[in-house]
């Protein structure tokens, strides 16, 4: 029925769980309330069986119904087959997760659902092993919750999957990882995907033994109901009781109607294979078994089938009716405007044609209505008639409504939004002495860990030595290995560990050792974390803090500042770029009070620079989106952030010596960027502006320029061209000279600013190099 809806043009795309029903029913029997699912687009039967998806909701998603009550998984934002449970209430606060069947919102990229499984399972481990968390009964019953993962056979070739299997074994977390094996990945058979064509066979080395920890591996045929029930129950029991991860390889599954509504499987499956699939359809085999065992008669089963068909059809019709009804008010008001316009305007014919076009559009959408009214307004441009006002109001309303429909909830909309955290200034004792910057962070983390047992920190070298720059030094000893922990070198699943833990009520600080290695985790950051609140329209959140360090120190893969990569791919995650460790500590304090997710990039070359520890180290906060003027001036505004602040401040001092007064602004956070347009005030004063950072040309500096010149409207106040300063096109070469001649330095800043002055007053500021 779903396929038909697509072919009839009522839906755009369809992907379904046919051929994989039976193991999902068996898996649902092992699933208990409070357990978690992290799966993919084939899991419709599992969701039905859990009672977390109604037939009507299933069709509503196919039609892209934007009403969250009709389509609770994504409110029309995700294509069908992307399931989710709403884990947050209307105010964005956690529901009682223990009483949910908690399906994490699916993503389309194959294996994209896997990294977060590490954190979802890790949370159970912490809730069980850390007695301080035993009171947290909104999130866990002492870690008894099992994570049920699902993945297709072909997707097990992805690095994410293989990385995660290893991490599960290392961490010993309660995960039941099911693989739906239908021998294909779209058109490509298993020989191309998997060594020996058999994923459970090649994973045998992970099998636990009496003396070694590992995974429990199971293999079962997807049409054998009794075996499926037994194995899923056994796997869940082992995971729940012992926190041993297990992997259930479900073979001999089929794909009855092909991969999706795009393309037909007759093109790539042989006649024999298609025949085999028909004979091994798990529903057919199930039916045979029911008859054989005399659990039901043929007539009874036929009656069930007939009834099911009728139920599904009724649900489909109801969903379609509701979808169309949701369009009706906008359609009717658009029609009313067109009617009035026809009456009032002298362009009656063309307006009538427009109306007719909309009237005769099959299943008109809001975009059809918007196009029509916008075009109508163009025809009315030379007329002074009252309907124009109504038409403009209609467009404004539909814009506002559609912003809400399609653009809300990119960040937290709850009262815990990072933007709502109260700013508290750092306070200092009069005799506060200077310490290494890393000690400021250490004091901040110490205060945080002692304040809240749900705060945890992990990453490569974070545990025993307290991170490579020692901001967690001594904190593992003080708070234990469950709170401050080393991980393997596996950036993608470190982020997954953070996402999953955050989705279960913990407050993880996940560390990526150097900013350059964020690339290894980028897919999970951009596809999963960044989109989570948005793709569920505020139904789920993962308040994860990602800590990393970068911008500048030494070497091609340790000094990077790939800001445009982050800006371009991680909207939905705030991006904080503190210039020193005190500002960084203030950001950690802000974020730990909020339910947003953010990336904090500390200055790699700042850990040994001297700073004072604020007296209120655990309480002071630095607000997001509020730039700071770190040097006042009157001639040129320089907008920068992070490690560049010190370089620009140095240049500003040198410029002062030749009579140029520079105002230096540290933007502090790139996402959000200067919420109250404060940089504009500076440009209004100086009328000249330079945007400087360490990213490549056209990257972070161009972004800041667009924000200030275009968005804040600084263009109107400029007396000189706006300029940017960035690194060279390539990564920084090794050594001090490699750095100096790749990254912007004080001399570059000096020249850029000087040239701006020289442009307006060449006599006072003659060309330096002629
Ligand atoms: C990262 C990524 N690459 C490619 C695709 C396109 N794609 C969607 S499903 C699919 C095949 C997946 O096969 P399998 O994992 O066996 O799952 P099945 O659909 O067979 O259940 C491919 C290649 C994708 N969604 N994501
Ligand atoms: Mg497959």
CB atoms under 10 Å from CB of 761, counted, come to 10
Q: Give the ligand 1 atom nearest the CA of 111.
A: 1
For ligand 1, is residue 424 a contact (CB within 6 Å)? no
**For residues 240 and 31, what is the distance between their CA atoms, to the nearest angstrom?**
10
Asked if pLDDT for residue 136 goes beyond 80, the answer is no
pLDDT score recorded for residue 116:
98
From 82, 155, 254, give the residue whose CB has the most ligand 1 atoms within 8 Å, as the site to mutate: 155
Residue 552: per-residue pLDDT: 81
Q: Which residue has its alpha carbon closest to ligand 1 atom 26?
A: 109
Per residue in 87-118, pLDDT (tens digit) is: 999 999 999 999 999 999 999 999 999 999 99
Q: Are 250 and 23 in contact (CB under 8 A)?
A: yes
- By CB atoms closer than 10 A (0-12, 13-18, 19+), residue 186 is middle
In order of 240, 248, 620, 626, the CA distances from 421 in angstroms are 38, 45, 11, 13
- pLDDT of the residue at 124: 98
Among 154, 180, 193, 263, name the best residue to mutate to test ligand 1's pocket (greatest count of ligand atoms within 8 A of Cβ). 154
Give how far Cα 246 sits from Cα of 69, 238, 239, Å.
35, 8, 7
Q: Ligand 1: which atom is nearest the Cα of residue 151?
A: 15
pLDDT, tens digit (0-9, with 9 covering 90-100), for 446-487: 999 999 999 999 999 999 999 999 999 999 999 999 999 999
Residues 6+ apart with CB under 8 A from 609: 436, 437, 580
Q: Is the pLDDT of residue 84 over 80?
A: yes
Element spanning 2, H or E: helix 2-7
Is ligand 1 within 6 A of the CB of residue 42?
yes
| φ, ψ dihedrals at 380, nearest 5° | -95, 10
Percent of the chain at pLDDT above 70? 100
Average pLDDT in the chain: 97
Q: What percent of the chain has pLDDT over 90?
A: 98
Residue 135: per-residue pLDDT: 84
The string of pLDDT tens digits covering residues 616-670 is 999 999 999 999 999 999 999 999 999 999 999 999 999 999 999 999 999 999 9
The H-or-E segment that residue 149 falls in is strand 147-152
CA of 523, closest atom in ligand 1? 1
What is the model's pTM?
A: 0.97
193 CA from centroid of ligand 1 (Å): 11
Q: What is the mean pLDDT of residues 355-375?
A: 96
- C-alpha of residue 109 to centroid of ligand 1, in Å: 7
Give tens-digit pLDDT for 137-177: 899 999 999 999 999 999 999 999 999 999 999 999 999 99
Number of the ligand closest to the Cα of 159: 1
Indicate whether 263 pLDDT > 90: no
* pLDDT reported for residue 137: 81
| 182 CA to centre of ligand 1 in angstroms | 12
How would you label 130-155 residue by residue, b for 16+ Cβ within 10 Å and e otherwise? beebeebeebbeebbbbbbbbbbbbb
Residue from 153, 160, 161, 164 nearest 193 by CA? 153
The pLDDT, as a whole number, for residue 618 is 97
* Whether the Cβ atoms of residue 175 and residue 121 lie closer than 8 Å to each other: yes
The pLDDT assigned to 530 comes to 98
């Amino acid at each position: 029925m779903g396929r038909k809806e697509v072919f009839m043009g009522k839906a755009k795309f369809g992907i379904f769980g046919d051929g994989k029903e039976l193991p999902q029913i068996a898996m649902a029997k092992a699933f208990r309330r409070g357990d978690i699912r992290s799966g993919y687009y084939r899991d419709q039967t599992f969701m039905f069986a859990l009672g977390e998806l109604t037939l009507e909701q299933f069709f509503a998603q196919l039609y892209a119904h934007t009403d969250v009550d009709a389509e609770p998984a994504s409110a029309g934002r995700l294509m069908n087959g992307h399931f989710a449970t709403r884990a947050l209430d209307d105010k964005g606060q956690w529901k009682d997760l223990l009483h949910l069947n908690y399906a994490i919102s699916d993503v389309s990229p194959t294996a994209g659902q896997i990294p977060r499984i590490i954190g979802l399972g890790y949370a159970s481990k912490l809730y069980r092993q850390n007695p301080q968390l035993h009171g947290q009964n909104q999130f866990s019953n002492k870690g008894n919750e099992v994570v049920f993962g699902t993945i297709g056979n072909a997707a097990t070739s992805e690095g994410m999957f293989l990385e995660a299997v290893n991490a599960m074994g290392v961490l010993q977390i309660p995960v039941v990882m099911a693989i739906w094996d239908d021998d294909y990945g779209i058109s490509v058979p298993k020989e191309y995907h998997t060594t020996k064509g058999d994923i459970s066979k090649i994973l045998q080395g992970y099998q636990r033994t009496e003396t070694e920890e590992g995974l429990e591996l199971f293999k079962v045929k997807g049409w054998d109901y009794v075996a499926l029930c037994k194995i899923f129950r056994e796997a869940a029991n082992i995971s729940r009781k012992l926190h041993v991860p297990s992997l259930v390889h479900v073979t001999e599954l089929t794909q009855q109607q092909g991969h999706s509504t795009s393309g037909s499987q007759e093109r790539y499956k042989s006649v024999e294979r298609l025949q085999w699939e028909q004979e091994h359809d798990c529903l057919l085999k199930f039916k045979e078994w029911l008859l054989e065992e005399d659990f039901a008669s043929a007539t009874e089963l036929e009656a069930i089938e007939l009834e099911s068909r009728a139920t599904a059809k009724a649900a489909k019709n109801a969903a379609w009716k509701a979808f169309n009804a949701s369009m009706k008010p906008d359609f009717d008001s658009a029609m009313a405007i067109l009617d009035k316009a026809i009456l009032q305007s002298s362009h009656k014919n063309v307006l009538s044609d427009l109306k007719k076009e909309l009237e005769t559009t099959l299943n008109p959408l809001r975009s059809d209505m918007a196009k029509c009214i916008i075009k109508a307004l163009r025809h009315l441009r030379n007329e002074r008639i009252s309907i124009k006002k109504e038409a403009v109001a209609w467009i404004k309303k539909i814009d506002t409504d559609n912003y809400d429909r399609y653009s809300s909830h990119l960040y937290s909309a709850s009262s815990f939004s990072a933007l709502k955290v109260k700013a508290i200034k750092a306070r200092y004792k009069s005799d506060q002495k200077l310490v290494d910057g890393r000690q400021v962070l250490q004091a901040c983390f110490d205060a945080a860990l002692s304040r809240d047992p749900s705060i945890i920190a992990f990453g490569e070298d974070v545990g025993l030595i307290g991170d490579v720059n020692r901001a967690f030094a001594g904190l593992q000893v003080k708070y234990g290995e469950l709170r401050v922990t080393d991980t393997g070198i596996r950036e993608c699943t470190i982020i997954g560990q953070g996402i999953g833990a955050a989705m279960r009520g913990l407050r993880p600080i996940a560390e990526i050792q150097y900013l350059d290695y964020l690339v290894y985790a980028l897919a999970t950051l951009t596809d999963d974390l960044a989109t989570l609140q948005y793709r569920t329209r505020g139904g789920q959140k993962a308040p994860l803090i990602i800590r990393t360090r970068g911008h500048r120190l030494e070497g091609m893969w340790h000094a990077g500042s790939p800001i445009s990569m982050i800006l371009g791919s991680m909207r939905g995650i705030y991006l904080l770029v503190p210039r020193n460790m005190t500002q960084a500590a203030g950001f950690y304090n802000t974020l730990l009070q909020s339910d947003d997710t953010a990336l904090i990039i500390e200055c790699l070359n700042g850990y040994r620079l001297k700073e004072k520890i604020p007296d209120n180290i655990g309480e002071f906060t630095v607000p997001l989106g509020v730039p700071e003027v770190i040097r006042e001036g009157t001639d040129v505004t320089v907008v920068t952030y992070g490690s560049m602040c010190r370089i620009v401040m140095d240049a500003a001092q040198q410029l002062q010596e030749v009579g140029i007064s520079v105002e230096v602004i540290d933007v502090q956070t790139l996402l959000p960027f200067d919420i109250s347009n404060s940089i504009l005030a500076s440009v209004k004063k100086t009328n000249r502006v330079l945007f400087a950072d360490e990213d490549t040309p056209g990257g972070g500096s161009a972004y800041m320029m667009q924000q200030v010149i275009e968005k804040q409207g600084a263009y109107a106040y400029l007396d000189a061209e706006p300029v940017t300063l960035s690194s060279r096109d390539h990564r920084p070469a090794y050594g001090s000279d490699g750095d100096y001649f790749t990254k912007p330095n004080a001399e570059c800043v000096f020249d850029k600013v000087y040239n701006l002055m020289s442009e307006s007053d060449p006599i006072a500021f003659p060309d330096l190099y002629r």
